[in-house]
Each structure stands twice: as C-alpha cells, then as structure tokens.
Chains A and B, each alone.
Chain A
Amino acid sequence: MAKEKPDLVYGTLDMLILKSLQPDPRHGLAIADRIQQMSKEILRVEQGSLYPALYRLEAQGWIKAEWGVSDNNRRARYYELTAAGRKQLTAEKEHWSRITKGINLVLAGT
C-alpha cells in the first residue's frame, strides 16, 4: 500500500492536486511540477503516488480526464477540474486555513 511521501502532510495531497489544476488542465507530470514550483521547491511529490489520488478524485467526480498531446508532442492524459471539484477545493481551502490558524494559535501560545 503506497502512501504519500511523509514530507507531505497526510491528507493534503488531494487539495494540492485540485489547486494545481486551477485554472488549466494538466497531466500527471505537470501536476507534480506545478506543486513543486508553487511551493518553491519545498514540497516534493513522489510522482507515482499521484495516480491513486488522481483516480480517487476522478471516482468522486471532482476531476475528469482526457487524453491529449503534451507541449512536446507526446500523448498524455490531461486532468481538469469539474464544477464539483471547484466547490470541493473551496471547501478544503477553508477547512485548511481554519486548521492551520488553530495550530498556529496553539504554537504561538506561551
């Protein structure tokens, strides 16, 4: 059972994937790149572990996939946010900011 790499907070991968698909559709490798780039190289995603998460999100109906052609003319499967996915992303973002706020308060306390 492959789990996400420990340097990612458990359970956040789904949210990061959803975010990385906003606004443009991307394929698996590009999603990994995008997360790495947006986090200024702090977060590294083990590329293989993306796929179980992608299929999970697809099964939930939050993203949909289509075969397409990459920038350098390679076949790749592109993922795109659905309306339900956008709503889910908003919800997860709110949830996350509340949690981190709470955690920060605790850590900042004396």
Chain B
Amino acid sequence: MPHFRAWFSRFVGLFIKRKRDEQMRDEMQAHLELLTQRKMAEGMEPGVARTAALREFGGLEQIKEAAREQRVWLSADQFWQDLRFGARMLLRSPGFSALAILCLTLGIGTNAAVFSWIEGILIRPYPLVAHQDRMFALNATTRRMPGYTGLSYPEFLDLEKDSTLFESFIIDRIMGTTLSVGDRAERATGGIVSANYFDALGVQPILGRGFRPEEGSGRNAHPVTVIGYGTWKDRYGGDPDIIGRTQILNGVQHTIIGVAPEQFHGTFIGYSFSFWVPASMQETFDTTGYKLEDRGARWIEGYAFLKPGVTRQQGDAELHAIAQRLEKDYPETNRGHDLALSPLWKTPFNQASNMSSTLGITMAVVFFVLLIACANVSNLLLARSLLRRHEMTMRLALGAGRRRLIQQLFTEGLLLALIAAAGGIAVAYWCRNALVLSFPSPAAGIVIDFPGQIDWRVLAVSAAVCILATLGFALVPAIQASHVDLSGALKTEAGGVLSGSSRSRLRSGLVLVQVSLSFVLLAGTGLLLQSLQRMQNASPGFSTDVIVSGADLFSAGYNLERARTFQVQLLDRVRDIPGVESATLARLVPFSYGVFSSAPLEIDCYQPAPDEQLNLSYNEVAEDYFKTLSIPIAAGREFQRTDDEKAVPVAIINETMATKYWAGKDPIGQRFRLKDRWLQIVGVAKNVNYENKLELPRSFFYVPVRQNFFVSNNLLIRTRETPGAIRNALAREVKALDPTLAPTAPFRIQEQVDRKGYTQRLATTLIAIFGAMALFLAAIGLYGVMSYSVSQGTRELGLRMALGASASDLLRMVVSRGLRLTVAGIGIGAIAALSLTRLMGNLLYKVSPHDPISFGLALVVMITVAFIACFLPARRATRIDPVRALRV
C-alpha cells in the first residue's frame, strides 16, 4: 500500500498545495534559525552566522522545489499550471482564439450533430424501448421479387408459436385515418399493432393501460385505442379523465384505454403516431378487407426481440427454418417466401434505409469539415508559434525540457478544443430537430419525427473527436515549436515569399490538404445538385399536374353499396364542373405512401419456374384514367364506362409485363387469372414510375374500378384551374350528395412526387451546406497562409520593388504562388474524388459518379475562391513601401 499512500498524499497535495508550501517554508526557516543560533553560540557575529547557516543548508529554492516534487502530483500540477497559462495566452490574443474556436466549433459541432442524428434515427430510434440492442426488424422477402414483401397474420401467429430463440414478435402496421375531435378534422397516422405491443416494448402508458392479450383476436371485436401523448395534449387538452371516453375512428366508436408516454412516438422511423389499435381492428382501418385469416395477404410490418444471449445468426437460422416449413405446408401462398432479421437501421419498411445512406455520406462529409477546420487551426498555431518564438527560446534557455514545452502547447490546444467541444455540443443540441424542418409534412396533422439524440454516446464521440482534433492540429506546431535552435533564434529569420523554410512548407502542406478535401466536397455537391436537377426534370411518365381529391367515405362509415353510388355520381358531377377536362377514380395515386394491391397470378401459356411466385402489383382505376394522367396506350384501348360489373372482367397491362409474359406475341385478347377471375387483356399502356423515380421498370397492370370496387377511392382531375380554385366547386358537389361530408384538400400529384425525392433533396442540402462550410474554411486557410507569407516576406518584396519589379509583377508573383498551391490541391482532390464519389451510387440519379460537368464546376468554384483568397494579400504586397521595408 505505501505506493498508493504516496500517490494519494500527492493527489491531496494538489489541493492543499499552498498550505503545505507555507508549512515547508516555516519548517526550513525554523531549521535555519536553530543553525544560526548554534553558530552564534560558537561565537560568530549574527550576520556572519546567518550567512554560514544558509551556506550549510544549501540552495534554499532548489531544495524547496525538490521537496515540492515529493509532495504534489507533479504532472497534474503542471497540467493545471499549463491550463491557466494557456487560458491567459488565449485571452491575450482574442482574435486568434475566436477564429480558432469558431473553426473547431464548426468542426466538432457538425460531427456531434450528425452523430446525434445517426444515434437518434438509426441506432437507437426508440428511446423508451427497453432492449433496443435485441430488437430487429422482421424482413420478409420473396424469391425473384425485389424488396420487402411482407408477412401475413397467420404467419405471424406461426412465428409466435414455433420459435424458441425469440422473446417476442410485434406487429406495427402504419395507417392513416381522419381524426375528428369536436369540429376539428385532421389526418392522423396510427398503428395497427399486436396486443403484446406495449408489453413487448416495455413501454408503460402514463394513463390507463396497454392492450390485453384477448384484444388481439376476434374480427372487429375490440374497438379500443391507446392515444399518443401529443394527441392527448393537442386534441383533448390533456384531459386527465380521458380514459374510458370514446372516439370515432373510421366510423367505429373506440374506447380510449391508455395514453402513451411523451417520448414514445411509435416504432416507425420518420413518423410520430397519434394512436394505436389492436390487430383485431384491422378490417376497420384497411380499405382492402379482412386479412387476419388470409395467408396470402402480406400486410404486416413488424419487429422481433431476441432472447438475451442469442446471436442474430442463430435467430436468422431459426426464422429461415420456419419459413421453409411454411413453404412446404402452404406452397400456394408461401412459395419462395423467406424471413430474416434486419438491424433497425436497415428496417426495410420505413425511412431507415433511405436515411442511412444519406446520413452515412453526411458523416463522411462532416469528418472532412473537421479535418479542414483542424488544418486551419494548425495553421493559425504555426503562425502564432513564430510570434511566441521568443517565449519558447526563453523557456528552453531557462532549462525547460522539450517534452515540457510540447506538453504545454498540447494543453493549450486541448483548452481550445474543449471550449469548441462545449460549443459544438450546444450546436448539436440546437440542430437535433433540424432534419424535420426540411421534411414536408404529408398532410396537416401528420407529425414527422426525425429526432437527434444527445446521450452519453454522442458526448463520448464528441470527446473523442475533441481529443483527436487536438492531436491533429496541435501536434505539428508543438513539435515545430520545440525545435527552436537556441543560437539561431537570436538572429531574425528572414523568410521570403518564395523561399521555403520548413515552417512555410508545412503550412503549404496543410493548405494543400484543405484544398483537396474541399475539392472532393465540391465535386460531390456538384454531382448531387446535377442528380437532383435531373431527377426533378425527369418525367415519371404521366402528367403530374393532375389534381387529387376525394371524400373519405371509409372513415365516414359508408358501406360498399352506398360508396359506389356516391362515387359514380360524384365523378359525373365533377366532369361537368367548368374547366375540368377529364376526371377519373383510382384506388391509389402514384407516388403515394399507400401500398398497391397485389395477388398471385396465373397466366395462360406462361409456365413459371418451379420456385417462381407470380405475384404482381396492380391498381384499380376508372375509365379515362390514362387520358387524365396522359399515359399513352401503346396497343388496344383504354378502360370504358361499360367495363363494369356486368361486363367481361378486363385488364390493361404495362409494356414490361407484355414483353415478359407474352414475348413475341400480341397480348391483346390473352387472359390471366387474378384471384378467382380470368381477366382479358384489352390494352397495353406505356411504362411509368409507380412509387418513385429511382425504381427499375417493373411489371404492373390495371383493372377497372367498376369491376373491383372499394369504399374509398381518389378522385383525379385534369384541369387548368389551381387546386385552391377548384376546391369550392368540389365542396359544392360533395355537399350536394351528402351534406355531412367535405372533400379532402385538393393537391397536385407533383407534391407527392417532390416528397418522394426528399432523401435526395436532404442529402443535397446537407452536403451543399457542409461543402460551403468546408470551402469557406479552406479559403480562410489559403488567405491566412498567403497574407502571412506576404507579411513575412516584406523585406524581400521591398527589395524586388527597389530593384525595379512593378506592382503587377508582385501581384502576379504572389497570386501565382497561391494558385500553384491550389492547383496542386485540386489535383490531389480530383484523384480522391474520382474514387470516393462512386460510394454515392444510390443517391445519384442518371449522373455518372465521374460526371465531367460537376468536376469542371468544382474546379471553377475552387479556383475563383482561391483567386480571391490570394488576391487580397497580394494587393497588400503591392502597397509595400520599399524604403520602409528595407530599413526594418
């Protein structure tokens, strides 16, 4: 233990240093007095005795210092000293400190902010869920079908029954409804969830209770709902007696049984849910019918919780085994169907995968910004170390060790970084909800939720970034400063604009790094801007000017028969509104967040491969659909009014479907079976985009809505009027048919198309902002280096002037040196960019990662900015007075 004791005593010494110092002084004083007295007793004069005592005692101050070392924790004491000294140094040059802290705050703050988004959106998106580390998204796929294909309810029950490695499975299906409280009616997002939902997540309602197991089953048997905190506060005024009250949801009275906690927004990244209902109420909220007993209806989105200690591989293996057993037992519905676990950040059915590539690239970009900021601060420190050379020389001459000097400069750097990190975390805190700002809400009342999360992980990462940054920017100047040549320091260093002392080479090197990093970011920004523009200009294949409206008959509780009469009459009335060119109905509007109908098909004269599941998506549309949306019919005809329930079932297929299944044949007049009916193909329509512009061409078909009716359909109108102008006319027609109804707010399809391009727009915005930041920082760096070398080379410039160089010669000389640096940096940056931009692959739309226009643009911007940054110091060079410069 003695070692610990000694250490502890020294640690304590840090805090009672002054007291111990006094004690030590007293003690030595006492010793000297005793000694002096003895000398006097031996017969010496008092003064002589004192001197003799002092001589015998030894060097008082050295001994004190040596004694102190035994009493305090030396390195900590020095650190504290350095810190105080560093703070004084920072205060002495506020301009330098402010600039350095600003650069670092930008660097550290952007990193902290982006990491907090990654943390809050991708890694731990559900803060109240107890075991997010064991939570995985259930990924259901079908062979030969791209993307997520969903689970059916019977499969979900099989999973719960047959699995052994899982703690629980939950269903969470997003759906929308109209929520009317009092006279306020707004769209709201809700979740159809399994009865174990709140229990499995470990989320306790703050009022009332979650769902009971029995509430999960029985067709429409349990009209109960748990409402979100926001809904409770906003719509019900935070009524404490809310439990037991009823609310009409989609025409059915639901009893409110619980209120979710404030921080719980559901389990769908990107949306904040307003309410939840148990799975037994599925039919009430799904326009496409009852599905709890249908093995072919894959509508479920859900999550699985592994038991503690079970690996993802083991879980995957068990899911795969269950899926294979189901495939054997139910070949009709489960052929080629497979199950696997996805980490939450790769959840296939919400915004996670979109956000993960965007945020991943953004993280890389802000890391670049940090590097550039560090290079800037490094440059500032280098410039300042010259000013402090006198101090350093003095310290070395007085016996300070090189290590001690480096330690002190590091401490000063750490101080800068610490202040900047505190600022950076504040920046991250302000920015935590910034992503939502750029995300357009799909409709009034729907709350978009992309929160950043500042937790210990974000703080730890910020601290790590801070220390890394300190190492990054303080290392080079510290080593430089410690290499002061004692004798050489007496002579003044006559640096020149063109001469390359090692210090100025170093600074140029840093600028080179900055320029090349900024060039990479500029090129990336250029690519994204181009791609965004191309995507915005690209036609989805139909007219996006078409106006969408309708009446929410499903929420209003209409049955199928009433709905059919209403819609047919409304369609006729709308067609008569002045200015309307054509109008039609469609169950789903392209580029909406809804899911197209899909079903297994059987095609005449097409033999599917043994493991091929023929399952295609389709839309239910009325006559004039293709005319209204301007989708050309390549062969055959468009749907007609007469394609109704009394006529032969028909279908229109798209070109991809025609070439795939009727290769080399005329598909018109051919048949295929959808569910229990054989449909006759009457037309082939041109391909369009159905869900987004990035999708690959896919097989798709249309059936007449009159032969496949649903309660709620969208009304599509082609008119020269604006959505606002047509609203009143629409409302009049709807009211004429049912005075209790109002049309949904009309909007152009273009709005939905824009919303689907959100990811690209967000990526472009973020990278453009950070790219501009990087460019700005690099420009400061270049400016700093150039103006520094001009001020250092005043003598040389003066001499050149005296020898006959004209102002424009000097201007050219200085600017060309800066531009040489820039061009070299651009060269390195271009090589780096060529290999890095390939990683942006899935964010780019019809733009090559090596697009010459983007690279050219980046080049022009970089050179322009560099020219300005060099021109200002160069102009100062031309104003040097040669007489004064040479006399200095």
Q: Which residues on A are within 8 Å of B, measured CB to CB?
A: 1-2, 27-29, 46-49, 51-52, 55-56, 58-62, 70, 72, 74-77, 84
Contacts and interface: CB of A to CB of B under 8 A. Distances in A.
Contact of A55 (B2, B38, B58, B71): B71
B34 A2 contact: no
Contacts of A56: 6, 70
A49 B5 contact: no
Contacts of B70: 52, 55-56, 59
A1 B31 contact: no
Contacts of A46: 56-58
Contacts of B56: 46-47
B58 A47 contact: yes
A84 B9 CA distance: 16
A84 B58 CA distance: 30
16 contacts: A2-B66, A27-B31, A28-B31, A46-B57, A47-B35, A47-B56, A47-B58, A48-B28, A51-B24, A51-B63, A52-B66, A56-B6, A60-B6, A61-B5, A74-B34, A76-B31
Contact of B2 (A29, A60, A74, A76): A60
A74 B30 contact: yes
B63 A49 contact: yes
A51 to B, nearest CB: 5
Nearest to A51: B67
A61 B12 CA distance: 14
B10 interface: yes
Nearest to B5: A61
B6 A59 contact: yes
Contacts of A55: 24, 67, 70-71
Contacts of A29: 31, 34-35, 38
Interface string B1-44: 01001100110000000000000101110110111011000000
A29 to B, nearest CB: 5
Contacts of B37: 72, 74
Q: Which are the 4 A-B pairs with shortest beta-carbon distances?
A: A48-B58, A48-B63, A55-B70, A59-B9
B58 A75 contact: no
Contacts of B65: 1
Nearest to B6: A59
Nearest to B53: A47
A47 B9 contact: no
A84 B34 contact: no
B713 to A, nearest CB: 87
Contacts of A59: 5-6, 9-10, 70-71
A58 B30 CA distance: 19
B407 to A, nearest CB: 18
Instruction: Among A51, A61, A70, A77, find the residue whose CB has the most chain B CB atoms closer than 10 A.
Output: A51
Contact of A70 (B34, B59, B62, B63): B34
A70 B60 CA distance: 22
Contact of B28 (A51, A70, A72, A75): A51
Contact of B63 (A52, A61, A72, A77): A52
A77 B27 contact: yes
Contacts of B26: 77
Given A2-B58, A2-B63, A47 B5 contact: no
A2 B33 contact: no
Nearest to A84: B2
B576 interface: no
Contacts of B35: 29, 47
Contacts of A27: 30-31, 34
Nearest to A60: B2
A76 B30 contact: yes
Given A48-B63, A59-B6, A60-B2, 15 more contacts: A1-B62, A28-B27, A29-B31, A46-B58, A48-B28, A51-B28, A51-B63, A51-B67, A52-B67, A59-B9, A60-B6, A72-B34, A72-B37, A74-B34, A75-B30
Contacts of A60: 2, 5-6
Nearest to A57: B70
A74 B66 contact: no
Contact of A51 (B9, B10, B27, B34): B27
Nearest to B54: A48
Nearest to B13: A59
B293 interface: no
B133 interface: no
B69 interface: yes
A75 B59 CA distance: 22
A2 B31 CA distance: 18
Contacts of B38: 29
A49 B58 contact: yes
Nearest to A76: B30
Contacts of A84: 2
Contacts of A49: 58, 63, 66
Contacts of B2: 60-62, 84
A74 B9 CA distance: 28
Nearest to B58: A48
A2 B69 CA distance: 11
A2 B33 CA distance: 22
Contacts of B30: 27, 74-77
Given A59-B6, A59-B9, A60-B2, A47 B57 contact: yes
Given A2-B59, A47-B58, A70-B34, A52 B27 contact: no
A51 B35 CA distance: 15
A56 B26 CA distance: 18
Contacts of A2: 58-59, 62-63, 66
Nearest to A46: B58
B860 to A, nearest CB: 62
A82 B17 CA distance: 24
A32 B2 CA distance: 25
A28 B31 CA distance: 7
Contacts of B27: 28, 51, 76-77
A48 B59 contact: yes
Contacts of A62: 2
Instruction: Among A2, A72, A84, find the residue whose CB has the most chain B CB atoms closer than 10 A.
Output: A2
A5 to B, nearest CB: 9
A75 B33 CA distance: 10
Interface string B46-81: 000000000011111011011101110000000000
A69 to B, nearest CB: 10
A49 B59 CA distance: 9
A48 B5 CA distance: 25
Instruction: Among A47, A56, A58, A75, find the residue whose CB has the most chain B CB atoms closer than 10 A.
Output: A47
B69 A48 contact: no
Contacts of A77: 26-27, 30
A77 B60 CA distance: 17
A47 B54 CA distance: 10
Contact of A76 (B6, B34, B57, B67): B34
